[in-house]
């Protein structure tokens, strides 16, 4: 890989508390200026300047279709912007969201992630592991990752989090895994309306600051509307008063008429001057745009024909086998009506295969000896990982939805607006949509069907964070029965009332959700994680110190100092916690 030599350095040699004798150098690893990109007539990106520093851990977030993947590809050199330049001063590698990949050449990473030679039978999680190891095997100094948690099981998620936390270099991450964003990131780039809003701190800090900005922008917009209305009304009153000033009557004498004319003229001039002054203030009033509300679902799904029986499904599984691999034997489960059950297990254990089996949709390689007895009143809505195949790519979002909707068009458009596809977006053909927008379309179809039982296979894949959080609320208020596969721990915690887990060829049920499992899958350590977190924060302090010593264009010294002091506080708390744990 050809790499440009850096000509811009923000360098500071310093000794950090707790790192005696260790000197660090912070440098700019990537710089982008004047990036502009169009998608048809729509301007997708309009970014004046971006910089990535050594040991930055940047979370790139935004709504589906905002251009996150396009921006990452431009920064990585995989796509050219229409205008602008990107300078990469260090080797860069990308963990792509999709596509085949080999296991990489680094034996340590191959062993850690159990990477396998590429073949058609690899599961989604196994292909993700390959993409991770292939990127890491090139030993980059700047790692870019586009949804690297896609299809990973709990073990894989834990390995990825620890590997990224220990990565010696900078990271640019697109992810809807909130736990990963919380534990890893020290900066958040929020892509909105084609521009980047740079938030120092982690994901939770971003949420707090974003909400504050939204409140401030809303207040300023309301103040602007009130002042604009007041000035318009004042101008209208001046105009009305001017029109009511009477001219001299025809029977009035000449001397009286001249006097009245002067008074009339003076009055009209004064009112006209007052009106012009108000109009001038109105024209120079600083315009405040109405802040865009975040995607939010404010509706509860109705169930037109609920299942009255206590049980929606009884499944007895004598054997479930794919080719020569046996997945389940002599096991089974029950799906209570109204429950929300998360189906979990390692990559390749057979979660998706089991869903296909109980739907009687297995292929030739799958052998299912058993019986799935659905209650006759059950009406199933099915969300497949390959949901795109169930829709017509040439038809619009709205056309695809209305083909199966039992609701009128105006209601369907309201639902899609709640899912983030607003206005003219519903008229776009499927083949022009991003992966997340296609997922929203498929979910919209499902929610508008006449069903009382939902089977969802990785419903949060490709969704942006905002829609995913609102989907959690929606499903939590759903009046029917849900069985879903997910690897997103936070989504499971907030949605599931029961856990159905693959465990050495058996299905184990836990009532009460994730927190009630006796031996939940551990995705993170304790003392080891604290050590990694302290190292990460200290590295970030070094970067901030360098930037405070030689601020780059766009840096705000008071903001850098505030973040630095916050890091000092966090490190102190972690070290206190570490000391207590070691006693």
For residues 165 and 223, membership in a common domain is answered with no
For residues 429 and 458, membership in a common domain is answered with yes
- pLDDT of 13 higher than 70: no
Residues with Cβ within 8 Å of 98's Cβ and at least 6 positions away in sequence, in order, are none
Residue 252, in any domain of the structure: yes
Query: Burial level of 5, CB count in 10 A (0-12/13-18/19+)?
Result: exposed
- pLDDT of 205 higher than 80: yes
CB-CB neighbours of 83 under 10 Å: 13
- pLDDT of 249 higher than 70: no
**Residue 28 Rama label (left phi>0; alpha psi -120 to 50; beta):** beta
What's the mean pLDDT in 336-346? 93
From 186, 210, 234, give the residue that closes a domain.
Answer: 210
Q: Write out the DSSP string of 445-507.
A: HHHTSS-SEEEEESTTTT--HHHHHHHHHHHHT-SSEEEEE---HHHHHHH-SEEEEEETTEE
Indicate the pLDDT class of residue 188, thresholds 50, 70 and 90: very high
For residues 439 and 328, membership in a common domain is answered with yes
Alpha-carbon distance of 31 to 6, in angstroms, equals 10
Indicate the pLDDT class of residue 343, thresholds 50, 70 and 90: very high
Contact predicate 429/393, CB 8 Å: yes
Indicate the pLDDT class of residue 464, thresholds 50, 70 and 90: confident
Residue 521, in any domain of the structure: no
Residue 106, in any domain of the structure: yes
Residues with Cβ within 8 Å of 222's Cβ and at least 6 positions away in sequence, in order, are none
Indicate the pLDDT class of residue 492, thresholds 50, 70 and 90: very high
What's the mean pLDDT in 310-339? 92
Burial 328-364 (b: 16+ CB within 10 A, else e): beebbbbbbbbbbbbbbbbbbbbbbbbbbbbeeebee
What's the mean pLDDT in 35-53? 92
Contact predicate 200/563, CB 8 Å: yes
pLDDT-wise least confident of 134-138, 299-303, 400-404: 299-303
Supply the pLDDT for residue 286. 75
Which two tokens mark 179?
Answer: 């736990």
For residues 509 and 556, membership in a common domain is answered with no
Indicate the pLDDT class of residue 535, thresholds 50, 70 and 90: low
Nearest one of 76, 94, 186 to 145, comparing CA atoms: 94
Indicate the pLDDT class of residue 432, thresholds 50, 70 and 90: confident
For residues 468 and 370, membership in a common domain is answered with yes
For residues 400 and 532, membership in a common domain is answered with no
Supply the pLDDT for residue 289. 72
Contact predicate 350/323, CB 8 Å: no
User: In CATH, what number is assigned to the domain containing residue 417?
Assistant: 3.40.50.300
Looking at per-residue pLDDT, the higher value among 65 and 319 belongs to 319
For residues 52 and 147, membership in a common domain is answered with yes
- pLDDT of 21 higher than 50: no
- pLDDT of 119 higher than 80: no
Residue 291, in any domain of the structure: no
Number of domains making up the chain: 4
For residues 320 and 427, membership in a common domain is answered with yes
Supply the pLDDT for residue 142. 97
- pLDDT of 18 higher than 70: no
Alpha-carbon distance of 318 to 325, in angstroms, equals 14
From 516, 539, 560, give the residue that closes a domain.
Answer: 516
Beta bridge partners of 197: 190
From 210, 243, 271, give the residue that closes a domain.
Answer: 210
Provide the 3-class DSSP secondary structure of residue 39: strand
For residues 403 and 485, membership in a common domain is answered with yes
- Whole-structure pTM value: 0.70
Supply the pLDDT for residue 536. 66
Alpha-carbon distance of 330 to 505, in angstroms, equals 8
Which two tokens mark 265?
Answer: 């003229």
Q: Write out the DSSP string of 169-195.
A: SEEEEE---HHHHHHH-SEEEEEETTE
pLDDT over 70, % of the chain: 82
Supply the pLDDT for residue 17. 33
Residue 293, in any domain of the structure: no
Residue 292, in any domain of the structure: no
Looking at per-residue pLDDT, the higher value among 414 and 293 belongs to 414
Contact predicate 500/343, CB 8 Å: yes
**E strand or H helix that includes residue 74:** helix 68-76
Residue 288, in any domain of the structure: no
CB-CB neighbours of 219 under 10 Å: 12
Contact predicate 71/60, CB 8 Å: yes
Nearest one of 471, 379, 551 to 64, comparing CA atoms: 471
Long-range contacts of 68-73 (CB under 8 A, 24+ apart): 68/146, 68/174, 68/191, 69/97, 69/146, 69/174, 69/434, 70/37, 70/44, 70/45, 71/35, 71/45, 71/47, 71/191, 72/144, 72/146, 72/172, 72/174
For residues 163 and 139, membership in a common domain is answered with yes
Contact predicate 242/271, CB 8 Å: yes
Pairing status of strand 57-61 against strand 187-192: parallel
pLDDT digits 0-9 by tens, 371-380? 999 999 999 9
For residues 348 and 483, membership in a common domain is answered with yes
CA atoms in the 13 A half-sphere facing the CB of 565: 5
- What count of residues does the chain have? 583
Please give the residue range of the domain that contains residue 512: 311-516
For residues 205 and 252, membership in a common domain is answered with no
- Average pLDDT of the chain is 81
Contact predicate 487/153, CB 8 Å: yes
Supply the pLDDT for residue 532. 61
Task: Give the largest Cα separation in the chain, rounded.
Answer: 117
Residue 297, in any domain of the structure: no
Rg (CA), the chain: 30
């Amino acid at each position: 890989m050809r790499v440009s030599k850096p000509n811009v350095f923000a360098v500071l040699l310093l000794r950090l508390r707790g790192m005696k004798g260790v000197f660090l150098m912070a440098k700019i690893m990537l710089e982008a200026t004047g990036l502009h990109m169009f998608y048809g007539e729509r301007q997708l990106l309009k970014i004046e300047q971006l910089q990535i520093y050594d040991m930055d851990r940047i979370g790139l977030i935004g709504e589906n279709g905002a251009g996150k993947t396009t921006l990452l590809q431009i920064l990585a050199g995989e796509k050219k912007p229409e205008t602008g330049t990107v300078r990469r001063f260090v080797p860069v590698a990308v963990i792509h969201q999709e596509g085949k990949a080999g296991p990489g050449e680094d034996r340590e990473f191959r062993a850690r992630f159990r990477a396998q030679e590429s073949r058609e039978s690899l599961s989604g999680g196994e292909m993700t592991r390959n993409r991770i190891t292939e990127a890491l095997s090139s030993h980059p100094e700047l790692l870019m990752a586009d949804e690297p948690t896609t299809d990973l099981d709990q073990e894989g998620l834990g390995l990825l989090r620890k590997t990224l936390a220990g990565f010696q270099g900078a990271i640019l991450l697109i992810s809807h895994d909130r736990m990963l964003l919380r534990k890893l990131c020290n900066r958040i780039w929020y892509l909105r309306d084609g521009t980047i809003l740079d938030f120092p701190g982690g994901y939770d800090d971003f949420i707090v600051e974003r909400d504050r900005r939204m409140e401030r922008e809303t207040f300023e917009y309301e103040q602007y509307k009130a002042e604009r209305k007041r000035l318009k009304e004042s101008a209208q009153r001046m105009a009305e008063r001017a029109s009511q000033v009477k001219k001299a009557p025809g029977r009035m004498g000449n001397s009286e008429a001249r006097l009245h004319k002067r008074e009339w003229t003076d009055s009209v001039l004064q009112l006209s001057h007052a009106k012009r002054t108000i109009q001038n203030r109105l024209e120079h009033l600083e315009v405040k745009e109405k802040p865009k509300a975040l995607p939010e679902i404010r509706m509860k799904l109705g169930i037109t024909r609920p299942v009255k029986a206590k049980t929606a499904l009884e499944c007895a599984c004598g054997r479930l086998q794919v080719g020569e691999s046996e997945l389940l034997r002599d096991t089974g489960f029950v799906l209570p009506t109204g429950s929300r059950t998360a189906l979990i297990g390692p990559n390749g254990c057979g979660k998706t295969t089991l869903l296909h089996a109980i739907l009687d949709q297995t292929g030739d390689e799958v052998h299912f000896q058993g019986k799935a007895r659905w209650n006759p009143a059950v009406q199933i809505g099915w969300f497949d990982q390959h949901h795109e195949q169930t829709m017509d790519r040439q038809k619009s979002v709205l056309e695809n939805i209305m083909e199966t909707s039992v609701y009128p068009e105006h209601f369907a458009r309201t639902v899609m607006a709640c899912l983030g596809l607003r206005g003219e977006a519903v008229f776009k053909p499927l083949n022009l949509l991003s992966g997340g927008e296609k997922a929203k379309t498929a979910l919209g179809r499902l929610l508008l069907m006449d069903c009382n039982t939902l089977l969802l296979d990785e419903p949060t894949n490709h969704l942006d964070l905002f829609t995913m959080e609102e989907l959690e609320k929606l499903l939590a208020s759903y009046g029917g029965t849900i069985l879903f596969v997910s690897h997103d721990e936070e989504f499971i915690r907030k949605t599931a009332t029961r856990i159905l887990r693959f465990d050495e060829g058996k299905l184990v049920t836990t009532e009460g959700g994730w927190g009630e499992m006796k031996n939940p899958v551990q995705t993170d350590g304790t003392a080891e994680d604290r050590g990694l977190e302290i190292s990460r924060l200290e590295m970030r302090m070094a970067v901030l110190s360098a930037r405070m010593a030689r601020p780059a264009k766009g840096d705000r010294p008071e903001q850098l100092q505030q973040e630095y002091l916050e890091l000092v506080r966090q490190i102190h708390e972690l070290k206190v916690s570490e000391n207590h744990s070691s006693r």
